[in-house]
Amino acid sequence: MLLSIFRYIKGYLKIRVIGYSPERFLNACSHRGIYIWGITPVRGSYDMYITVSGFHKLKPVIRKTGAKVVITERIGLPFYFFRYRKRKVFFAGAVLSIALIYSLSLFVWSIDVRGNRKYTDEALIAFLEEQGVEHGMRLSQVDCDRIVKDIRKSYDEIIWVSASIEGCRLIVQIKENEDSKDVAAAAGETKDGADTGQGSDIVADFDGVITTMIVRQGIPCAAEGQEVKKGDVLVTGAVPVVDDAGETTGYQYQQSDADIRARVSMDYQDSCDLSYESKEYLHQEKEVFYLQAGNRIFWLGNNKNPFPDAEELTIQSRLKLGRYFYLPVSWGRRIISPYRSTQEKYDENLLQTKLTDEYRRFTDNLAKKGVEIIENDVKIYTGSAKAEAKGTLTVITDIGTERPTSFVEDVTDGDD
User: What is the per-residue DSSP string for 222-248?
Assistant: --TT-EE-TT-EEEESEEEEE-TTS-E
Q: What is the pLDDT of residue 181?
A: 44
Q: What is the pLDDT of residue 349?
A: 85
Confidence of residue 179 (pLDDT cuts 50, 70, 90): low
Closest C-alpha to 168, from 118, 250, 245, 105: 105
Going from the C-alpha of 366 to that of each of 177, 214, 266, the distances in angstroms are 15, 22, 12
pLDDT at 136 over 90: no
Name the region of 357 (left: φ>0; alpha: ψ -120 to 50; beta: rest). Answer: alpha
Q: What is the pLDDT of residue 407?
A: 66
Q: How many CA atoms lie within 13 A of 53 on its CB side?
A: 6
Q: What is the pLDDT of residue 408?
A: 61
Q: How far apart are CA 359 and CA 68, in angstroms?
A: 91
pLDDT at 195 over 80: no
Q: What is the pLDDT of residue 188?
A: 46
Contacts 24+ apart (CB under 8 A), 353-361: 354/272, 355/270, 355/272, 355/380, 355/387, 355/388, 355/389, 356/380, 356/389, 358/270, 358/389, 359/268, 359/270, 359/389
Confidence of residue 193 (pLDDT cuts 50, 70, 90): very low
Q: How far apart are CA 174 and CA 160, in angstroms?
A: 6
pLDDT at 189 over 70: no
Q: How many CA atoms lie within 13 A of 105 on its CB side?
A: 13
pLDDT at 93 over 60: yes
Pairing, β 110-114 against β 169-176:
parallel
Q: What is the pLDDT of residue 2?
A: 80
Q: How far apart are CA 197 and CA 311, in angstroms?
A: 54
What is the widest separation between alpha-carbon atoms in the chain?
Answer: 126
The tens digit of pLDDT for each residue in 367-394 reads 888 889 898 888 888 887 788 889 999 9
- When pLDDT is averaged across residues 226-239 and rounded to a whole number, the result is 90
pLDDT at 290 over 90: yes
Which H or E run contains 98?
A: helix 88-104
Q: How far apart are CA 388 and CA 374, in angstroms?
A: 22
Which H or E run contains 210?
A: strand 208-217
The tens digit of pLDDT for each residue in 317-375 reads 888 877 777 778 889 999 999 998 888 888 888 888 888 999 899 888 888 888 898 98
Which pTM value belongs to this model? 0.47
Q: How far apart are CA 6 and CA 346, in angstroms?
A: 75
Q: What is the pLDDT of residue 43?
A: 83
- % residues pLDDT > 90 (the chain): 28
Mean pLDDT computed over every residue of the chain: 85
